[in-house]
Chains A and B, each alone.
Chain A
């Protein structure tokens, strides 16, 4: 794929990212994303195979803590921002389709 994105490809990305986009937004965002992608494409080929990747600025690995009970949020606190709750649980829309 070239370093530009078609309207359909942007619609697919939006679907993967779980964002509904209107037709007007697709028209507006697709060319902008292509320009951004085109500018960051300059990075290809800059570093050779011998260069290790850096995921993190600090060389930290395996940070452990003791496996002990610690204070935590009460159920009321944990649910305080919930859009909907039911019997001390987060209430969510159905997660399966009709055919499932």
Chain B
């Protein structure tokens, strides 16, 4: 039996904000609709690790009271949202998809979560993810995989597959994700949703459980480009609690999205990255990418090909820098102050070190263990210069490629991911095959520049969504929104409606995947 999909659930957050402002609906009604949808379909999708129905409804009632008093806290006051489980939420479990944090309830809010609360967005719950955001499929979650709403036998991308699936399955109009090597953009691409990785430092990382702190960024996961801009503006800005937070304000993102939606791209210079395409890239993904480019050209954009020669080393660079930082960041899970504590078997009076080893053995999954050990190796004396030191230098070369490219173009584009969603189980024990998913998204993290993924359509060979990635110079996030909104409006016109309108109906609770 298919789950009923009420029209209100398919509306954008921007439209819901208008509905709330005009009194056409209430936050309690919207929040209840999302919770009912979660109850109906999340058994099959498994986007959520924790649902806070009671808390969300209480926040919704408070939002309605503010509206009634004529004092909404923000434009999105009352619009419900889902939050990736890597962000600390006071009073709500935060597991990072790991057994080592099972049952942990943070005593504080991440800054972005505090901003959601101040702006009045009811928090529906916490979304599933690869353990500590390590993965591209959400299969590395200790709590079981999330299923792609387009085909429940396939992966929803990762690490933020839960947030992307929640939005794609109409369980939430908005979600927060985090992107270290593509964990917002790649799930966006394979679920037909929109995701932005902001400029590094543009959104506070305080309360984001770090995987690789020089690469991690929090960003919006939505169904439309305008919604992403609205949410990005809400969570962005300087935070004294994050010493890598940027002080200067970003150009207007919502304005850029609205301007882009008019579809006029005249004077915009677009560079196609030579190194991110060609052999090994799924034909249907490239087809949709070329078609999107043609639409932008038709709207007045100038398109040229740009070579970024160091990008061929981006994957290797990332898989040294990231594990090195992760091995250090995850040292804090030591069984002493919070989280799991496991005593080693058959030891009468175990030492702290023995408890630490037993706890980390029991609490971490395979992928986390792999990355910690690669990072430990890359940082060990004798190999530091050859691996980590060299990776840091190549990182400089990649930034220089971006700088050179942005001298001649306004934005750089590529397909977001090399393929559409693959079957669950196909790559879970083949780390290298899994890592290749991030080929096109990693360079932006290494250089700190912003990027957005916008749906480009369905690949002809499998009928699954593909994504179009737009990258801009640091602090020029507005360009991602302008070009993204233009492409979205041109494609939606061609499709006769949003891409997600073509997604199959989901089975209701009880039906098996």
Contacts and interface: CB of A to CB of B under 8 A. Distances in A.
A41 B374 CA distance: 12
Contacts of A65: 240
Given A44-B386, A83-B335, A94-B352, 17 more contacts: A13-B377, A18-B334, A19-B369, A21-B369, A29-B366, A40-B319, A43-B316, A43-B317, A43-B320, A46-B393, A46-B397, A51-B396, A53-B393, A55-B214, A80-B338, A81-B337, A93-B352
B86 to A, nearest CB: 16
Interface residues on B, range: 35 or more
B393 A10 contact: no
Interface string A27-68: 011001101110111111111000111111110100101000
Given A51-B397, A57-B200, A78 B392 contact: no
A36 B431 CA distance: 8
Interface of B: 104-108, 200-201, 214-215, 240, 243-244, 246, 310, 313, 316-317, 319-320, 327, 331, 334-341, 344, 349-358, 360-361, 364, 366, 369-370, 372-374, 376-377, 380, 382-383, 386-387, 389-397, 399, 431-432, 446-449, 474
B396 A19 contact: no
Contact of A35 (B351, B377, B431): B431
A93 B350 contact: yes
Contacts of A84: 341
B391 A43 contact: yes
A2 B243 CA distance: 39
Interface of A: 1, 5, 10, 13-14, 16-22, 25, 28-29, 32-33, 35-37, 39-47, 51-58, 60, 63, 65, 73, 77-78, 80-84, 90, 92-97
A80 to B, nearest CB: 5
A58 B201 contact: yes
B212 to A, nearest CB: 11
B335 A94 contact: no
A57 B373 contact: no
Given A1-B383, A83-B335, A13 B376 contact: yes
Contact of A73 (B107, B320, B394, B474): B107
B451 to A, nearest CB: 13
Contacts of B215: 57
A36 B201 contact: no
Residue of A10, A16, A19 with most chain B CB atoms under a 10 A cut-off: A19
A76 to B, nearest CB: 9
Given A19-B357, A20-B357, A81-B337, A52 B393 contact: yes
B380 A58 contact: no
Q: Which 10 A-B pairs have the closest CB atoms?
A: A57-B448, A81-B338, A53-B392, A47-B393, A83-B341, A77-B107, A20-B361, A63-B243, A54-B395, A40-B316
B360 A19 contact: yes
Contacts of B104: 81
A20 B344 contact: yes
Nearest to B343: A93
A55 B240 CA distance: 21
Contacts of B376: 13, 16-17
Contacts of A96: 351
Contacts of A52: 393, 396
B275 to A, nearest CB: 14
Contacts of B395: 53-54
Contacts of B316: 39-43
B369 A29 contact: yes
Nearest to A96: B351
B373 A93 contact: no
A13 B327 CA distance: 11
A93 B394 CA distance: 43
Contacts of B396: 47, 51-54
Contacts of B353: 18, 95
B327 A93 contact: no
B244 A43 contact: no
A83 B446 CA distance: 37
26 contacts: A14-B369, A14-B373, A16-B376, A17-B373, A18-B353, A19-B364, A29-B366, A29-B369, A32-B370, A33-B374, A33-B377, A36-B431, A39-B316, A46-B393, A46-B397, A54-B396, A54-B399, A56-B244, A57-B446, A60-B201, A65-B240, A77-B107, A82-B338, A93-B350, A93-B351, A96-B351
A94 B310 CA distance: 50
B281 to A, nearest CB: 19
A17 B52 CA distance: 36
Given A58-B200, A82-B337, A36 B317 contact: no
A44 B339 CA distance: 38
B447 A18 contact: no
A74 to B, nearest CB: 8
Contacts of B372: 17, 19
Contacts of A63: 243-244
A46 B394 contact: yes
Contact of B358 (A17, A20, A39, A45): A20
Nearest to B103: A81
A35 B374 CA distance: 11
Contacts of A54: 392-393, 395-396, 399
